Amino acid sequence: MASDDDGLLTDLRQLLVDFAFGAKKLAAPLLHPFGPSLEPVALDDGDLEKLKSKLRGIRATLQAAEDRVVADDFVRLWLRELLDLEYAAEDVLEELEFEALRAARLEQFKAQLLRSSAGKRKREFASMFSFSSLHLKGKIGKIMERYNEIARDRDALRMRSSDGERRVEASPMTPTSCLTKCQLHGRQRDKRQVTELLFSEEADYTGVYSVVPVVGPAGVGKTSLVQHIYNDEALSSKFDIKMWVWVCQELDVLKLTRKLVEEATESPCCFTEMNQMHRVITDRLRGKRFLLVLDDVWNESQTDWGSLQVPLKCAASGSKIILTTRSIKVSKIMALKMHHLGYLSDTDCWFVCQDAVLRGRDPNIIDDNLISIGKSVAAKCKGLPLAANAAGNLLSIAVDRNHWKTVEQSDFVGQ
């Protein structure tokens, strides 16, 4: 009997190499005969139902947004946050489904397990199933918590009829290197620190360039800061070639390489093969010092980034890559150092609002009473310049006390 038990144990161990835990409903019957202490932590069905319900709501909201041209900065901001949550929720549900399928394979061992010798041997078998679903429960908890935060900040995720006009054709606003006319408030120290990194001769393991990640939450002004740095005349004289590429969520290496060709040559790319595009970039950059901005980076695959950087290694030493990202993991893949961009003060948020209101108007149109209301509105922007600019645009519709009080008391800001 002992040798049969040993063989069964070996088979079980081999089978369990591939997975961290089994599904609750399949695992619990196996573990129950050995006592409650070895049963896995229950993953409440109610948690899963709540997660699925929220996911349905998120998908409905995103689907509604696809049919509209959303010009409002607040709405665009929480739509992006919702998209993040959709990915996270799908990951959890897919993991559960996957592990349930793999756990089903253990059923063939159930009869043998229950017939095996008592005592220590049984408990050894059982201990192999005593995985915990705590990590998934924790993930679900974090998703629900983040959903509730967004709900509070964005009026319970309602997509109003006034949030956008019906889409005629897709024309997303892609961030570019071009500066807006707005001043850079509360960021002089950040600008100086990032610029110092760009002027340093430090290079990473390639010996050619170094990467400067600017990391911060959505709407905190990463792109705006880098636009001001990119267009600084003192910095421009340091580099032979400057390139700006908006990356966004999906890192398609082929498409991104094509964009690099177009930025490096300042002309459309007519090539379709990666090797052809690499040759063009290599010829253009060889022996020259470049500044490349990769804006809004999400991809966390080290392999993808390795492929993208191949043609950049022929450039002159001292070249720099700035990337803007919300992900600390991305920045750690790309660089040893990073610059964290924090929230603005309420005072600086008010300056951003004020700029959006004036737009060339006489500053005297904002009297002391309006300033008091405006500062109250700015304080609700939670340190986000994107939100402050949107609030200023709303205030600019009518520069009078009644309208500004309406904005202050509305759920448009800070809900």
- Mind listing the pLDDT tens digit for each residue in 181-239? 568 999 999 999 999 999 887 767 577 899 999 999 888 999 999 999 999 988 888 99
What's 214's DSSP letter? Answer: E
CA angle, residues 205, 254, 298, in degrees to nearest 5 = 65
Work out the mean pLDDT of the chain and round it to a whole number: 73
Please state, as a whole number, how many other Cβ atoms lie within 10 Å of the Cβ of residue 207: 9
- Helices (H) and strands (E) counted in the chain, each on its own, are 18, 7
**pLDDT at res. 140:** 72
Token pair listed for 167: 């889409």
Token pair listed for 337: 């150092």
pLDDT at 47 over 70: no
pLDDT at 180 over 80: no
- In this structure, the chain runs to a length of 415
Token pair listed for 217: 């939450």
β partners of residue 291: 242, 320
- Give the confidence band of 129 by pLDDT, cuts at 50, 70, 90: very low
**pLDDT at res. 298:** 84
Q: Please, what sign has the CA dihedral across residues 170, 174, 81, 307?
A: positive
- Residue 68 has phi, psi (to 5 degrees) of -130, 150
All domains in the chain, ordered by first residue: 2-165 (no CATH), 188-340 (3.40.50.300), 346-409 (no CATH)
Residue 324's nearest CA partner among 180, 181, 194 is 194
Q: Which of 80-94, 167-181, 263-277 has the lowest mean pLDDT?
A: 167-181
Token pair listed for 144: 């629900």
Residue 307's nearest CA partner among 275, 346, 280 is 275
- Give the confidence band of 146 by pLDDT, cuts at 50, 70, 90: low
Beta-strand relationship, 209-215 and 339-340: parallel
**How do residues 58-106 score in pLDDT, each as one tens digit?**
666 655 555 454 445 555 555 666 666 666 776 666 666 555 555 555 5
Crossing angle for the helix pair 73-104 and 385-395, to the nearest 10 degrees: 140
pLDDT at 141 over 60: yes
**pLDDT at res. 192:** 95
Token pair listed for 62: 């995103």
Residue 33's nearest CA partner among 131, 125, 106 is 125
Residue 121 to residue 131: CA distance in whole angstroms:
18
Q: Residues near 407 by Cβ (< 8 Å), separated by ≥ 6?
A: 377, 391, 394, 395, 413
**How do residues 377-415 score in pLDDT, each as one tens digit?**
999 998 999 889 888 988 998 999 999 998 898 765 444
pLDDT at 32 over 90: no
**How do residues 292-342 score in pLDDT, each as one tens digit?**
999 988 887 778 888 888 899 999 999 999 999 988 888 888 887 899 999
CB 103 within 8 A of CB 23: yes
Residue 198 to residue 192: CA distance in whole angstroms:
10
- The CA–CA distances, whole Å, from 290 to 193, 209, 237 equal 19, 9, 11
